Amino acid sequence: MKALIVNLSVSLFFIYALACKEYIIRIIAVHKDDTSANVNETDIPFKVAQGYYINNSVHGRLAYPNIYTQHDLDTFFSSSSMMGKEEISTSIDFSKQFVIALTEPKVEEDFFLHPISLKKDREGQIILNYKKELGLKQTYASTAFVLIIVDKKYDASVVLNEIDE
C-alpha cells in the first residue's frame, strides 16, 4: 500500500510539473503574441524641411502628399530664398529622398502641424502621425503645412493620422 501511495505521489508530481510547464509555455506564447503586435510597425527616420512657403494656389490638402521632383515641389511650395529672405531652405536631394507634404485649409487662427512619428505598417503603408495646434486669431487667413523629408528606400503610399491630445 505504501508503494502505491509513493507511486501515486510521484505520478501526481509529474502531472503537476507537466501542467505547470504547459501553462508557462502558454504564458510565454501569449506574451510573444502581445509584443509582436508592436513589432509590426517600423519607425521611419525623417527630417522636417525649413525655409519654405506654401503657394497661394494650394487650398486644403494635396490629393497625393508624396512629392518626388523639384518641379513638383515648386508647383506647391516656394523656397524662402525665392521670397527675398536670407533664410536658407533645407536642401532636398530628390535622387535619394522624397517629400511628404501635409497641408490644411486656410484658417484665421495661428495654426501649426507637428509630425509626431512616421511608421511603416504591416501592409507596407507609411503612417504619418501628427498633431494640430491652433493658436490666436489673426487678421488674415493662412494655410498650415509641414514638409517631411524621407529616404526613398521607405517610399510607399501615405496615411495621414491626426492624433488628438
Give the angle 156-76-66 at the CA atoms, nearest 5°: 0
Which residue type occupies 19? A
CA–CA separation, 75 and 68 (whole Å) = 12
pLDDT at 34: 36
**Which range (18-32, 37-51, 69-83, 108-122) has the least confidence?**
18-32
> pLDDT digits over 143-164, tens only?
889 999 999 999 999 999 999 8
Which cell goes with 126? 507609411
pTM, to two decimals: 0.70
> pLDDT digits over 63-119, tens only?
899 999 999 999 999 987 655 555 688 999 999 999 999 998 877 777 889 999 999
